[in-house]
Amino acid sequence: MSEDVLAGDGVWSEESDWEVTGLDGEFELDAHIPMPTLAVVGRPNVGKSTLVNRIIGRREAVVEDIPGVTRDRVSYEANWSGRKFLVQDTGGWEPDAKGLQQSVARQAELAMSTADAVLLVVDAVVGATTTDEAAARKLRRSEIPVILVANKVDDQKIESEAAALWSLGLGEPRMVSAAHGRGTGDLLDEVLAVLPETPREGTGGTGPRRVSLVGKPNVGKSSLLNKLAGDERSVVHDVAGTTVDPVDSLVDLGGKIWKFVDTAGLRRKVSHASGMEFYASLRTKSALEASEVAVMLVDASQPITEQDLRVISMVADSGRALVLAFNKWDLVDEDRRLQLDREIDRDLVRVPWAQRVNISAQTGRAVQKLVPAMETALESWDKRIPTGRLNNWLKEVVAATPPPMRGGRLPRVMFATQATTRPPTFVLFTTGFLEAGYRRFIERRLREEFGFEGSPVRVSVRVREKRDRKK
């Protein structure tokens, strides 16, 4: 049974639907297993993201017909011949880059130095450029395996031209067409031959909890990630919308590893976004689905906007634990604090249960308070209430406040169980349908009794309808 059904408002009439055993682990997320990393590097617009999409078998990396769309290191999980590994897409590498492109180049260089194997992608139609030669020189000095990929080899004529790439000193160029899939299977066989079974620096253990950083553009997500990580993990620039893909970063906070995904800022409406902004919005949703807790950044110095509320609704709908981080607190004066309190009471009625922290990503103020807030939210998200305790509590609540009459009859709540965790989902077995308002009442009382700070709680109903006896 799907999570959507459990959370919905439908009516169940089959007796067999009363059984909810065996669902306990249905929605659990897999533990993080350390996997080796394959970095895909090269100068701008040689088809790196297209090749990444071909390797992972789905359209994840943002692709545009203009150079410089990918700016950060972005990791995706791939599976070839039964072996799993991470593919790291990077921004275009240029040795003499300036400004924003210099930050992009540093990310690509970091990928070269930390990956377990590297694909250097070259445009076979253009041939080896001075930038390709500089990248090849850098990679020849490294101790990790490097495979030279001649991309855009769509026919035999280009094949003969691509042979000239031997001059880069990285061995035989593997000829592929990422756009059409030509040669990518043979390339992946070679990747598996050089890629180690485990990463050079495995994280080990049961795996870090997964955190997505979400919020409207230019609210400080990348700055917060860099402050937490203590280094420049994400490209930060004063141009809104610098991040266009989610970026995975393993960060040690107080001796515990967390996996952060720095998501692209969401525009006002996906339908109004074009090109890379449209796909970046989809990637943000994917990052939420892959995470366990979301840290929603809100600019505390400015009024809460429609964009903020739309992102919060997206988090609530995803069923993830939630921490509201009011950023730029160093810019908030007493008048703004009073106004913000009124805005929270008025606008955030859908998530009164969310953990709240006031921070400044720029100065580092109170960012250390995020960890206990995330831990509390995740503890609630994982919480399970024993069936006996739940029903003893429910019996008292229903006796004190019965559900409203429906169709001239009083619905009886016969039994309740917690069907699943992540988020906590409760099913009430009744003789009649319960109004949405009464289910919200049950949710409020559940929170008063059992906590669940920082986590959504879902309450659904299963109704037993009488069947006609066969004569």
Q: What is the pLDDT of residues 113-133, one digit of tens each?
A: 668 899 999 999 999 998 888
- What CATH number did the domain enclosing 223 receive? 3.40.50.300
Residue 36: is its pLDDT beyond 80? yes
pLDDT of residue 379: 96
Q: Are residues 215 and 171 in the same domain?
A: no
Q: Are residues 224 and 352 in the same domain?
A: yes
Q: Are residues 375 and 388 in the same domain?
A: no
pLDDT of residue 337: 96
Burial category of 42 from C-beta neighbours within 10 Å (exposed 0-12, middle 13-18, buried 19 and up): buried
Flag whether 263 is in a domain: yes
Q: What is the pLDDT of residues 44-77, one digit of tens each?
A: 889 888 898 899 887 655 444 334 333 344 667 8
Q: What is the pLDDT of residues 412-447, one digit of tens each?
A: 999 999 999 989 999 999 999 899 999 999 999 999
Flag whether 41 is in a domain: yes
pLDDT of residue 330: 95
pLDDT of residue 9: 41
Residue 312: is its pLDDT beyond 50? yes
In the DSSP assignment, the letter for residue 337 is H
Q: Which of 64-73, 199-208, 284-293 reaches the highest mean pLDDT?
A: 284-293
Q: Is pLDDT larger for residue 65 or for residue 108?
A: 108
Q: Is pLDDT larger for residue 199 or for residue 127?
A: 127
Phi and psi angles of residue 285, each rounded to the nearest 5 degrees, phi first: -65, -40
What region does 97 belong to: left with phi over 0, alpha with psi -120 to 50, or beta? beta
**Average pLDDT along the chain:** 78
Q: Is pLDDT larger for residue 322 or for residue 136?
A: 322
Of 348, 379, 410, the residue that ends a domain is: 379
Q: Is pLDDT larger for residue 184 or for residue 86?
A: 184
Reported as a pLDDT band with limits 50, 70 and 90, residue 107 is: low
The count of structural domains within the chain is 3
Helices (H) and strands (E) in the chain, counts: 13, 15
Which range has the worst mean pLDDT, 93-102, 172-181, 235-244, 403-412?
235-244
Say how far apart CA 324 and CA 214 lie, in whole Å: 10
Residue 136: is its pLDDT beyond 80? yes
Which range has the worst mean pLDDT, 253-267, 287-301, 382-396?
253-267
Q: Are residues 304 and 362 in the same domain?
A: yes
* CB of 54 closer than 8 Å to CB of 187: no
Residue 471: is its pLDDT beyond 90? no
Of 316, 351, 379, the residue that ends a domain is: 379
Flag whether 267 is in a domain: yes
What are the Cα distances from residue 463, in Å, to 10, 188, 383, 400?
9, 52, 26, 22
Residue 306: is its pLDDT beyond 70? yes
Q: Are residues 85 and 177 in the same domain?
A: yes
Residue 356: is its pLDDT beyond 50? yes
Q: Are residues 345 and 239 in the same domain?
A: yes
Flag whether 145 is in a domain: yes
- What CATH number did the domain enclosing 11 receive? 3.30.300.20
pLDDT of residue 466: 61
Q: Is pLDDT larger for residue 138 or for residue 454?
A: 454
Structure tokens given for 397: 């609540």
Strands of 413-420's sheet, edge to edge? 413-420, 425-430, 458-463
Flag whether 296 is in a domain: yes
Q: Are residues 292 and 350 in the same domain?
A: yes
Which range has the worst mean pLDDT, 35-44, 71-80, 324-333, 439-448?
71-80
Reported as a pLDDT band with limits 50, 70 and 90, residue 191 is: very high
Instruction: For the chain, give the longest Cα–Cα distance.
Output: 88
pLDDT of residue 406: 83
Reported as a pLDDT band with limits 50, 70 and 90, residue 280 is: very low
Of 160, 194, 228, the residue that ends a domain is: 194
Flag whether 199 is in a domain: no
Supply the range of the domain harboring residue 52: 37-194
pLDDT of residue 140: 87
Flag whether 203 is in a domain: no
Q: Are residues 46 and 184 in the same domain?
A: yes
Reported as a pLDDT band with limits 50, 70 and 90, residue 109 is: low
Q: Are residues 222 and 359 in the same domain?
A: yes
Q: Are residues 178 and 54 in the same domain?
A: yes
Residue 449: is its pLDDT beyond 60? yes
Q: Are residues 241 and 328 in the same domain?
A: yes
Q: What is the pLDDT of residues 206-257, one digit of tens each?
A: 357 889 998 888 888 888 988 887 754 444 344 344 333 445 677 878 778 8
Flag whether 204 is in a domain: no
Q: Are residues 369 and 400 in the same domain?
A: no
